[in-house]
Structure 1
Amino acid sequence: MARYFKEQDIDEFRECFYLYARSDHIKSLDELTVIMRSLGLSPTISELAGYFKHKVGKMTFADFLEVMHVHSRVENLPKEIVDAFKAADPEGRGTIPAKQLRHLLQNWGEKLSSKEVDRIFREANVNNNSMVKYEDFIKIACAPVPDYY
């Protein structure tokens, strides 16, 4: 599995795995859920159950890397978000008013605070009266958070 991931990704996976898998194995669906979500993935309960079922109730780190490889091929969050924006963009302009984007971020799903939205807008060079190219915005918003935050 090492050939599918960068060394620093494997190190991050290993650190998270051993933080939660105290006995060097994942023994429950809850542990697998916490580990994968801690790594920024959002697998469904049925996906998690399927991954865990194939490992017969005990998952080693090597098994976990295999699960991460399989799931990383399934989940592409930025593409899913862009597709949602495209579905709500019947003219296909590729833009959304900044005020509408702010409203979505603060009122839908995992609601962000005004300060969080301000920080994201600052990072993406968005002002409140502009039109936002949502594909560019999603690339910035879904980028990994730097360690210095």
Structure 2
Amino acid sequence: MARFFKEEDIDEFRECFNLYGSKDRVTTVNELASIMRSLRLSPTTSELRRYLNKSGNNMPFVEFLEVMHEHMEKEKIPADILKAFREQDPRGTGFVAVKELRRLLLHWGDRLSHKELEQIFRETNTPSSGNVKYEDFLTIVCSPLPDY
């Protein structure tokens, strides 16, 4: 796993791991959540449970590094989407027409229904016409749901 991280990143991971883990291991979802969130990641409760179950509820640091690598790859998705928006923004305005965003979400990739689209637009305060700042839109849409 060291090949995926810089030495200073591993040192930071180890420091958090030792701070919140118990006896060089992580044994609870709460411990794992504290560690990963202190490292600026946003795993869901179900992801945390899955990671911990995979280790038999007894995760040493080496397995934690594997979890970090796997989860960091997942959290790169918003960056990839942002890159795609930027490539479609030749003038670099940072905005996309709501009409175009609606078309993309209804007709490309994992297509949304009209009801799903309207719900997302409502939750992100997206206007019915005009332009929307795509970076702000992605930040809201890609944020994990709170665990409470």
Same fold (TM over 0.5): yes
**Cα 1:119/1:67, change in 2 over 3 Å:** same
Aligned to 1:24: 56
**Cα 1:119/1:146, change in 2 over 3 Å:** farther
TM-score by length of structure 1 reads 0.60
Indicate whether 1:7 and 2:37 are aligned. Answer: no
The residue correspondences of 1:82-121 to structure 2 (distance < 5 A) are 82-121=82-121
Q: Secondary structure at the match of 1:110?
A: coil
Is this contact kept in 2: 1:18–1:24, CA < 8 A? yes
Aligned to 2:122: 122
Moved over 6 A (4+): none
**Cα 1:146/1:115, change in 2 over 3 Å:** farther
CA drift at 1:88? 0.6
CA drift at 1:117? 1.1
Is this contact kept in 2: 1:94–1:135, CA < 8 A? yes
Aligned to 1:39: none
The one-letter amino acid of 2:138's match is: I
Give the % identical residues.
34
Is this contact kept in 1: 2:33–2:48, CA < 8 A? no
Is this contact kept in 2: 1:14–1:61, CA < 8 A? no
Structure 1 residues not aligned, in runs of 5+: 26-59
1:13-58 CA distance string (max 9 Å, x none): 4422466x5x939xxxxxxxxxxxxxxxxxxxxxxxxxxxxxxxxx
The one-letter amino acid of 2:134's match is: Y
**Cα 1:113/1:7, change in 2 over 3 Å:** same
Q: Secondary structure at the match of 1:96?
A: strand
The one-letter amino acid of 1:70's match is: H
